[in-house]
Structure 1
């Protein structure tokens, strides 16, 4: 049913950029309302452009700091912790297709 809706919506919207814009602009607007991004709809080459604001950049920095703190905690007193972190990142990367396959089976219902 959802696929049929998307097909009908796509046929109604004859420009692929407009289709993409209609799907994602609401998500970007939520971030814009929180002052994390600026959405520019007056672009020459794109239907819109999304730019991180200073507040958004600060949030990214805060997330990176928290990630570093977390990594420091979980690898405390472990020899070759840098190698362990890299191996864990590879494992996460390898798990992504499994996660996507599961989400597809669940029809992306969370």
Structure 2
């Protein structure tokens, strides 16, 4: 299963960069905008994936903590909400950096 997934991801990456390799001179990819667009798309995709994994693990741990000690649910919930806000801010910062890279003229 893992080899199939890695093979599929590698094939997808090769196909996505093939347009850059065969771009014509007047095309948007030859001016560098296409590379920036691909980079920003990959950047926000990785940031969103990492943040969602982190948020899922945080909620899982909070639910386990509340299940083990229901009396501490107030403190656990407060810590969970604060931690989720910090994790979400990381994704927003990544989005901001990607938008700056995408729309600022070089």
TM-score, with length taken from structure 2:
0.27
The structure with more helix, counted as a fraction of residues: 2
TM-score, with length taken from structure 1:
0.27
The structure with more strand, counted as a fraction of residues: 1
Q: Which has the higher contact order (CA 8 A, sep 6+)?
A: 2
